[in-house]
Amino acid sequence: MGSTITEKGDLVTTKPKISCQVLVNPDIGFTDFHSISIHDYKYGAIPSYPETSTVYFRWYWSELEKSDGVYNYTLIDKQLNDAKAAGKKLMFRVMAMGETDSGENSIPLWFHAKGKDVVVNTEKTVFIPDYTSSDFRTQIEDLLAALSAKYNDPDDITSVDIGVIGSWAEWHLEEAYPNEPALGAHLNDNTLFESPSAFTEYVTMHQSNFTRVPTVMLIGSEDKRETFLASAVANGSGWRADCLGDKEGYYGPGWNHMEDAYPHALDNANASGAWKQAPVQFETCNDMTLWKTAHNFTEKDVTEVFDYALDHHASLINAKSKPIPDEFQPAVKEVLKKLGYRFELLSLTHQKEVIAGNLITINSEWKNSGVAPSYYPYRVAYRFVDSSGNVEKQQDTSREVLDWLPAETRMVDAPVIAINDDITVPTLAGEYDLQIALVNDLGDAKIKLAIDMPQKDNWYSISTITVN
């Protein structure tokens, strides 16, 4: 630990040493997938998987609404409470189609009599609900309204997928049409869907219900008939893409996700700047052990894949809570230092001495050396701690971090963010430890800063000040 301290007149400036450690912070990094903390899970830990701040679950509609209008909140509450107990947040998706020949594992039995059932692909007989029917839309709208009434708190929820549609709610029909999975290819099939234009309504349903937490749209395909992603990002959502790692040669020569599907889908949707308003998230193709054993990835390949995610300003990667080979750990460590936000306090300047109860101006300089902003409005806060360790005064400012953007590309330095805060010092004379933190709406310090300075519970001791 260390810092550089300089004095000029009655002012003192502290420049903290910048940390190069991996920081586990809310809403960024790798996610646990259908686990709370697989890294140290007592019934089968996978220590090669990194520590996480976010747990990711997906549930079928049939699990969430056992009878019409009766919602299974217990299912979500269990995971949310376990996540909170572990100091983590939850992200989730609602699905209405999976690997099934009847739909019974994805859609409630009580709804089958009300909806328009469509069975296609005679060899596999995969059930596809008519997402465009008025009955289906009404039921899903009621479901999302019920869920958002309980799970719309940004202190608990990292994000909600704009889901429901397609196989595993991924906005494609791969289970039904493996040779033509793109949803756009079937939008004009009047024998399949009553009203293809109704699909965009599901985007609006999620956005209008989950108003306090970020919503994230599945990227879909490069088919230009799909306007769902464009609608989502135009109205404030972020995006997520599956099969990160599928680059040239992964499944052989030719088409692949990273070089063909993602770029065209993002261009079609004008989504390149969506990261400034809501999260970008990726999910790995297969898992990282298979990257090695089935696809012969080297550490260089892994770094290339992760750099791709960083170039798209990703905040989260779901590597599915699976083991990660030892030789890939250096690449994992490096990407964890860059995913999402990473706030560095470059300097802090204030008067050395001040009269009790007076205002002082604290000047500070910051930098976001990650690749994305925080989508939660953490605020700068200060506190004065006496020689006995007692907090004499804490003052939260209105200074939010939402606009603390990183560099546009990894090849340039992030801009310096200069802020000035007028702070009232304690009314009792004495020498105080001046501490700083980024706090949530409850006043809790939640963010680990990328500085190597003494801290307790994410309150960082930066300087001392004498109150006369």
C-beta of residue 46 within 8 angstroms of C-beta of residue 81: no
- Residue recorded with tokens 């052989």: 252
Domain range list for the chain: 3-21+342-467, 29-336
Residue segments in the chain with a per-residue pLDDT below the cut of 70: 1, 99-104, 113-125, 189-191, 194-196
pLDDT score, position 90 = 98
pLDDT score, position 326 = 98
pLDDT score, position 191 = 60
The Cα–Cα gap between 67 and 398 comes to 45
Instruction: Read off the amino acid at residue 336.
Output: L
CATH topology of domain 3-21+342-467: Immunoglobulin-like (2.60.40)
C-beta of residue 436 within 8 angstroms of C-beta of residue 458: no
Helix (H) or strand (E) holding 124: none
The yes/no answer on whether domain 29-336 falls in CATH 3.20.20.80 is yes
pLDDT score, position 103 = 55
Q: What's 161-214 look like in SS3?
A: EECECCHHHCCECCCCCCCCCEHHHHCCCCCCCCCHHHHHHHHHHHHHHCCCCC
pLDDT score, position 26 = 98
DSSP 425: P
The Cα–Cα gap between 386 and 336 comes to 36
Instruction: Read off the amino acid at residue 23.
Output: L
C-beta of residue 445 within 8 angstroms of C-beta of residue 437: yes
Residue 402's nearest CA partner among 381, 386, 421, 380 is 380
Give the number of other Cβ atoms within 10 Å of residue 435's Cβ: 23
Give the number of other Cβ atoms within 10 Å of residue 455's Cβ: 18
Please state, in angstroms and as integers, the Cα–Cα distance from residue 281 to each residue in 230, 240, 314, following that order.
17, 4, 5
Torsional sign, CA 442, 204, 33, 95: positive
Q: Is 38 helix (H, G, I), strand (E, B) or coil?
A: helix
pLDDT score, position 99 = 65
pLDDT score, position 1 = 67
CA angle 189, 194, 198 (to 5 degrees): 100
Backbone phi, psi, residue 442, to 5°: -90, 0
Which residues, 6+ apart, have CB-to-CB distance to 77 below 8 Å? none
Q: What's 210-279 look like in SS3?
A: CCCCCEEEECCCCCCCCCHHHHHHHCCCEEEEEEECCCCCCCCCCCCHHHHHHHHHHHHHCCCCHHHCCC
